[in-house]
Structure 1
Amino acid sequence: MTAPATTPATMRGVYLPGDSTAVVRELPVPSPGPGQLLLRVGASGICGSDIGYIYREHKTHRGQDGPAYRGVVTGHEPSGTVVAAGPGCRDFGVGDRVIVYHIAGCGLCDNCRLGYQISCTADSRAAYGWQRDGGNADYLLVEESTCVHLPDELSHVDGALIACGFGTAYEGLRRVAVSGEDDLLVVGLGPVGLAAGMIARGMGARRVIGVEPSPARRAWANTLGVFDATAEPEQAATVVAGLTGGRGASTGIDCSGSRPGRSTVIDNAAEWGRVSLVGEGGTLETEVSDALLHKQLTLYASWVTSVPVMAQLARNLVRWGLRPEAVVSDRFPLADADAAYRLAAGNSRGKVVLVADGDDR
């Protein structure tokens, strides 16, 4: 099936040469094949993994063999509206608003059948924005199997944030089973940490405490109204003890991806606490007896999320009355992608998002 006549022949897409620049190029608008959808992109987020592994220099992503970035259109956090559907599509049609899970797996392995395409190891596995064209473009060709319905109550910017950061935070919090009986310590108040704070409120956490070295990010986090307190790392122990009666946090999540950050969340965990590690990179070094064994801690490692859980999160956000776009500090049009990436790689307060021209949803 070809794209409708109203779809232009060419579009813009953003590429990352690996020299700390973002380049907008023109390329043909693709047509959907069997089981594929063509989306008009409404919004696309800039992820920290893109900065670390593609923007500054092309590096192999952890856990993947060979070069991770294959010179494609970047962006693995897209949300948009279907403008054309290929043969065999059954769940989505023209006009549907969707969130895109950022990995297209083989569809046959155990991980894919569970919806965790992120853990697919088949040669055919391809991530949007890494091995196949991604969402930093006017249009995006996707597999129907990677799409989730975007509720009417949420915007395309909300959807773009669910596609990666909010999904990652939600999965990590599900692993530690945050509830109304828990205090949650969030270490690292970048976009994923901010998402964790918001979602924890939706899940009923009694108190949410944030730790972040950047004063600008702490200040931005405080505007969200979800953190009972935010602290610099040196004050973490005092703040956590003061809010928990000296017990420590019953649940914690490290979103920093750093050795000091992971130490902070472990050191300030309560006895029988549960700690989730979701930040990429770095190392984990800890004293074992007092920090882990004697406190009876449980550590969880969580990598992104699954398609079904992402769909669940979208529904829950509506039920909780939460809007992910609250963590967005800066929006840029596609034409200004270079400025957007420079800010995301520098001193952004919150999330940086590329928004389609004229998109108000």
Structure 2
Amino acid sequence: MNTTTTAPTPATMRGVRLPGDSTAVVDTLPVPEPGPGQVLLRIGASGICGSDIGFIYHEHKTHRGIDGPAYRGVVAGHEPSGTVVRAGAGCRRFGPGDRVIVYHIAGCGLCDNCRRGFMISCTAPARAAYGWQRDGGHAQYLLAEESTCVPLPDELSFVDGALIACGFGTAYEGLRRIGVNGDGDLLVVGLGPVGLAAGMVGRGMGAARVIGVEPSRRRRDWAAGLDVFDAVAAPEEAADTVAAATAGRGAATVIDCSGSRPGRSLALEQAAEWGRVSLVGEGGTLETEVSDTLLHKQLTLYASWVTSLPAMAELARNLVRWGLSPERVVSDRFDLADADAAYRLAAGESRGKVVLTAGAGQR
């Protein structure tokens, strides 16, 4: 393995931290050196995730049962993609010039979840999430474990890769669990970035019709212009819209990306008999009438948290095969220097996905 760089790297770089007071701060930091089994990436794009906003940007809150703030004051961003510029000793798969997506959890590598590729569910003390417990992708360079890297196909851009790293991976896993296919329709509840991803991936997986429900008029209009959804409706219009699209049967497959109690209830109510419902939105509660809504309709519920390393690589290949580009759901791009403005928009009411990019020269 070649352990030299393809081009000189600078001594310092820009990196974004989140103080927890609804601001984003750009610092000057040293460019790290890769150790054994690590690669140094030049970042091409890094997405802003709703969990960053909900658990870090506004205030440093506990997440996933961690005692105390989960964010350790590191460089933010867990949705990175870029190019390997330096590989440490022992790297065997990736080297300088390789384009990669970074799976956003570095697990222990030994537990059953890690061996299945679900490092997200690793509970070992060694588990560290990029942008939470170790430096993440909101920087010009990122030190990553080679084991967390996934090939980024040449047909996809760095922005595509950043979106696959979290939102599209989350949507794909949720849709895989409910077996989306051409035998039935897909209902997507909540058309934020993950919901938009679910609509696009569901289209690629062959759903007969894809219907979206979203309370925000601004987001409904953005979703309707993507040529992904057959129908987009407000929650109060959902019953009529779903009935019209499915001849009154309801949706055979449903994914809730809203993370809200009303959204989850709507998802269950609009599912068809023998329907399959996937819950991927974080936070909130689930409240439903049981007999008519669940039992009598013979529904199956799936709860899905992010995806696995192999499934993320599979998704990247499938997107190429389907001729789909995640980048289409991006409504706003910002340079790292404008990270504060980017976070303010993402925390407000952006139309679609907000990403930070490295500037000219990256695709």
Structure 2 length-normalised TM:
0.98
Is the 1:43–1:79 Cα contact (8 Å) retained in structure 2? yes
Instruction: Give the equivalent residue in structure 2 for 1:313.
Output: 315
d(CA) in 2 for partners of 1:190, 1:242: 24
Instruction: Give the equivalent residue in structure 1 for 2:340.
Output: 338
Instruction: Give the equivalent residue in structure 2 for 1:133.
Output: 135
The Cα of 1:2 is off from its aligned counterpart by 7.8
Is the 1:42–1:359 Cα contact (8 Å) retained in structure 2? no
Instruction: Give the equivalent residue in structure 1 for 2:273.
Output: 271
- For structure 1, the residue ranges without an aligned partner over 5 or more in a row are none
Instruction: Give the equivalent residue in structure 1 for 2:120.
Output: 118
Is the 2:7–2:85 Cα contact (8 Å) retained in structure 1? no
The Cα of 1:65 is off from its aligned counterpart by 3.3
The Cα of 1:106 is off from its aligned counterpart by 0.0
- Aligned runs of 1:79-94 on 2, under 5 Å? 79-94=81-96
d(CA) in 1 for partners of 2:199, 2:161: 18
Which residue among 200, 203, 206 is the counterpart of 2:205?
203
Q: Give per-residue Cα distances to partners, 1:1-59, cap 9 Å, x unaligned.
A: 78677100000100000000000000100000000000000000000000000001110
Instruction: Give the equivalent residue in structure 2 for 1:190.
Output: 192
- Which deviates more, 78-87 or 2-11? 2-11
Q: Which amino acid aligns with 1:121?
A: T
d(CA) in 2 for partners of 1:241, 1:145: 46
Instruction: Give the equivalent residue in structure 1 for 2:235.
Output: 233
Instruction: Give the equivalent residue in structure 2 for 1:30.
Output: 32
Is the 2:189–2:213 Cα contact (8 Å) retained in structure 1? yes
Instruction: Give the equivalent residue in structure 2 for 1:163.
Output: 165
Instruction: Give the equivalent residue in structure 1 for 2:325.
Output: 323
d(CA) in 2 for partners of 1:182, 1:48: 30
Q: Which amino acid aligns with 2:23?
A: T
d(CA) in 2 for partners of 1:359, 1:238: 48
Secondary structure at the counterpart of residue 200 of structure 2: helix
The percentage of counterpart residues that share the same residue type is 81
Is the 2:61–2:68 Cα contact (8 Å) retained in structure 1? no
- For structure 2, the residue ranges without an aligned partner over 5 or more in a row are none
The Cα of 1:67 is off from its aligned counterpart by 2.0
Is the 1:3–1:32 Cα contact (8 Å) retained in structure 2? no
Structure 1 length-normalised TM:
0.99
d(CA) in 2 for partners of 1:63, 1:305: 19
Instruction: Give the equivalent residue in structure 2 for 1:151.
Output: 153
d(CA) in 1 for partners of 2:301, 2:119: 23
Which residue among 306, 309, 312 is the counterpart of 1:304?
306
Q: Give per-residue Cα distances to partners, 1:271-319, cap 9 Å, x unaligned.
A: 0000000000000000000000000000000000000000000000000
- Which deviates more, 290-299 or 63-72? 63-72
d(CA) in 2 for partners of 1:309, 1:5: 32
d(CA) in 2 for partners of 1:260, 1:166: 23
Which residue among 19, 22, 31 is the counterpart of 2:21?
19
Structure 1 residues 146 and 234, CA gap change in structure 2 (3 angstroms):
same
d(CA) in 2 for partners of 1:124, 1:62: 15
d(CA) in 2 for partners of 1:227, 1:42: 29
d(CA) in 1 for partners of 2:170, 2:229: 19
The Cα of 1:347 is off from its aligned counterpart by 1.4
The Cα of 1:64 is off from its aligned counterpart by 2.7
1:74 matched to 2:76: yes
Is the 1:2–1:31 Cα contact (8 Å) retained in structure 2? no
RMSD over equivalenced CA pairs, Å: 1.0
Secondary structure at the counterpart of residue 69 of structure 2: coil
Secondary structure at the counterpart of residue 282 of structure 1: coil
The Cα of 1:357 is off from its aligned counterpart by 2.0
The Cα of 1:360 is off from its aligned counterpart by 3.5
The Cα of 1:66 is off from its aligned counterpart by 3.1
Q: Which amino acid aligns with 2:95?
A: G
Secondary structure at the counterpart of residue 28 of structure 2: strand
Q: Which amino acid aligns with 2:166?
A: C
